[in-house]
């Protein structure tokens, strides 16, 4: 059984995805079997500040639980926004 | 026959002497050229006289002298106008040179003044308006950097705020999620109240059936019924409150969601524009720096060139003295040649010799670098 969990993000990563996102990663953290959470940005075309806030919160909680968090497949505007918000400093890039 | 021979050889000799003197003149030894010319001509006349003596077989001594005197006078009358015109030319040159040099001096002075004004203009162009030594370009550079940092901080703050909002929202949601349980508990309480009510009703019926003996029990049953009704009322009031709280939490969630969801893509554009402006400013600042340095260099070179030009002008004095000397020598020579018929040849030669000696001594005691033929040689004396 793999200890990596991939969260696939929608095309528009904003507040509307708050519920599924939070409950999704909270379950993974609570399960205590996963050591690595990967956020898959390959579909994301837009993200707003709430998405960035959710990511910061998730990173904090994952780190507190000893789980590594990474970003995968970011491109275009999404990548620009992630870089601007210094997400590459708190997340590992794959 | 004697006359024909004299004219040809004298002419050749004259041409030769003039050639040598012109060559010397060309080398900058003007007075030596004149001296050679004059001395050469005189010694040729003397030598010519000796030859005429040796050949003179048939004519008498007086006739020979007469003829030589005649020839000398003819030669002098040819030489005098030539020397005079040389002198006049020299004087013209002196006057032209003086005018030209004073014009050049004036121009150079003007040039120096203009150069200073130009440097001032350039300086004021590069220095910021408040007079501080800091250049405009570096100020703009700092401004752009600060704006970039400010945007970064703004983004960081926005993200932090968003994260806190999300945290808050989750905590509130936990309360919201707990609502159904509370409602269920209240519903259970309602159930109990209604059962208690039913129970009290039964008790009251049983008490009525017991007659007087059950009267006290009927009072208790009534009280229990009243309590169950109050408990049901309380439960209802709490449920109403909880419903209101739920509605408020829903509204809060929506509001927090709005606050947390800010479009940040415009910041990307702003940052890109700032970066472009910053790059341009840095490029401009670097160019300005280079230009300033090169302007400094140019100003320095201009100053040096100007100094050299002014230094070169100071040789006007030396040249003027040289020309003046040559003009006086020419004057002396043609004046004495005019008096040739009255004066003895040897007297003329010795006068010329003493004149040259005197001038030479004069020049040496005046310490003028007259002997200089180039500007470099005169440099030490000038500065």
**So where are chain A's domains?**
4-93
Chain A contact present for B155, CB below 8 A: yes
**A85 and B156 in contact by Cβ < 8 A?**
yes
- Residues of chain A found within 8 Å of residue B265, distances taken between Cβ atoms: 46, 77, 80-81
pLDDT of amino acid B369:
44
Mean residue pLDDT across chain B: 80
Q: What is the pLDDT of residue B228?
A: 92
Q: How far apart are CA B92 and CA B86, in angstroms?
A: 10
Confidence at B380, pLDDT banded by 50, 70, 90: very low
Residue B3 pLDDT? 45
Bridge partners (DSSP) listed for residue A38? A6, A70
The answer for residues whose C-beta is within 8 angstroms of residue B228's C-beta and 6 or more apart is B193, B194, B196, B197, B200
Of B20, B80, B72, nearest in space to B49 by CA: B72
Count chain A–chain B contacts defined by CB atoms under 8 A.
Answer: 76
B225 and B201 Cβ atoms separated by less than 8 Å: yes
More confident residue, B53 or B13: B13
Indicate yes or no: CB of A84 within 8 angstroms of CB of B169.
no
pLDDT of residue B196: 92
Chain B interface, mutation test: which of A53, A82, A91, most B Cβ atoms within 10 Å?
A: A53
Number of other residues whose CB lies within 10 A of the CB of residue B38: 23
Residues of B in contact with A14 (CB under 8 A): 261
B368 pLDDT band, cuts 50/70/90, is very low
Helices (H) and strands (E) in chain B, counts: 9, 0
Give the whole-angstrom CA distance, residue B236 versus residue B198: 18
The verdict on a CB contact (< 8 Å) between B162 and A53 is yes
**pLDDT tens per residue, range B237-288:** 999 999 999 999 999 989 988 888 888 888 878 878 887 887 887 788 778 7
ipTM: 0.87
Domains in chain B, start-ordered, CATH in brackets? Answer: 2-126+296-382 (no CATH), 136-262 (1.10.287.950)
Span B157-203, pLDDT tens digits: 988 988 998 899 889 988 898 999 999 999 999 999 999 999 999 99
Region of B131 on the Ramachandran plot (φ > 0 left; ψ -120 to 50 alpha; else beta): left
CA angle B355, B358, B361 (to 5 degrees): 150
Q: Which two tokens stand for residue A36?
A: 């690595």
Averaged pLDDT for residues B100-108: 89
- Using an 8 Å CB-CB cutoff, list chain A residues near B166: 18, 22, 50, 53-54, 57
Q: What is the pLDDT of residue B382?
A: 41
Q: What is the mean pLDDT of residues B314-327?
A: 83
Which of A15, A22, A50 faces B170 most closely, judged by CB atoms?
A22
Query: What pLDDT was estimated at residue A5?
Result: 92
B307 band by pLDDT with thresholds 50, 70 and 90: confident
With CB atoms and an 8 Å threshold, state whether A49 touches B268.
Answer: no
Task: List the single residue in B152, B160, B268 with the smallest CB-CB distance to A81.
Answer: B268
Q: Which of B158, B166, B257 sits opposite A57 (nearest CB)?
A: B166
Which superfamily does CATH assign the domain made up of A4-93 to? STAS domain (3.30.750.24)
Q: What pLDDT does A38 receive? A: 94
């Amino acid at each position: 059984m793999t200890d990596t969990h991939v969260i696939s993000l929608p095309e528009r990563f904003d507040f509307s995805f708050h519920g599924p996102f939070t409950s999704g990663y909270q379950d993974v953290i609570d399960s205590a079997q996963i050591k690595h959470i990967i956020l898959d940005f390959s579909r994301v075309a837009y993200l707003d500040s709430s998405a960035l806030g959710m990511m910061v919160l998730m990173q904090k909680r994952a780190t507190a639980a000893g789980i590594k968090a990474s970003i995968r497949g970011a491109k275009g505007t999404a990548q620009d926004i992630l870089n601007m918000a210094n997400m590459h400093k708190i997340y590992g890039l794959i | 026959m004697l006359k024909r021979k004299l004219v040809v050889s004298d002419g050749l000799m004259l041409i030769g002497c003039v050639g040598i003197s012109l060559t010397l003149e060309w080398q900058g030894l003007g007075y030596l050229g004149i001296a050679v010319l004059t001395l050469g001509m005189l010694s040729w006349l003397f030598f010519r006289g000796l030859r005429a003596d040796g050949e003179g077989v048939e004519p008498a001594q007086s006739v020979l002298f007469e003829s030589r005197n005649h020839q000398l006078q003819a030669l002098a009358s040819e030489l005098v106008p030539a020397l005079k015109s040389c002198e006049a030319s020299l004087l013209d040159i002196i006057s032209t040179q003086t005018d030209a040099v004073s014009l050049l001096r004036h121009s150079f002075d003007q040039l120096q003044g203009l150069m200073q004004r130009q440097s001032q203009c350039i300086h004021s162009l590069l220095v910021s308006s408040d007079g501080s030594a800091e250049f405009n370009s570096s100020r703009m550079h700092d401004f752009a950097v600060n704006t970039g940092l400010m945007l970064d901080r703004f983004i960081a703050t926005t993200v932090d705020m968003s994260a806190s909002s999300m945290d808050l929202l989750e905590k509130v949601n936990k309360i919201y999620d707990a609502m159904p349980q509370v409602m269920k508990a209240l519903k259970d309480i309602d159930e109990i109240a209604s059962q208690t009510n039913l129970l009290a009703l039964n008790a009251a019926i049983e008490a009525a059936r017991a007659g007087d003996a059950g009267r006290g029990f009927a009072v208790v049953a009534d009280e229990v019924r009243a309590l169950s009704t109050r408990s049901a009322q309380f439960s209802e009031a709490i449920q109403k409150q909880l419903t209101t709280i739920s509605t408020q939490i829903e509204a809060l969630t929506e509001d927090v969601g709005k606050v947390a969801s800010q479009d940040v893509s415009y910041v990307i554009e702003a940052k890109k524009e700032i970066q472009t402006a910053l790059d341009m400013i840095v490029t401009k600042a670097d160019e300005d720096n280079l230009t300033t340095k090169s302007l400094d260099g140019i100003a320095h070179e201009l100053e040096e060139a100007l100094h050299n030009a002014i230094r070169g002008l100071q040789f006007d004095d030396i040249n003027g003295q040289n020309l003046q000397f040559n003009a006086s020598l020419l004057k002396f020579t043609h004046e004495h040649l005019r008096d040739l018929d009255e004066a003895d040849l040897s007297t003329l030669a010795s006068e010329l010799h003493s004149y040259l000696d005197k001038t030479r001594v004069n020049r040496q005691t005046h310490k003028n670098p007259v002997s200089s033929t180039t500007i470099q040689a005169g440099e030490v004396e000038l500065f």
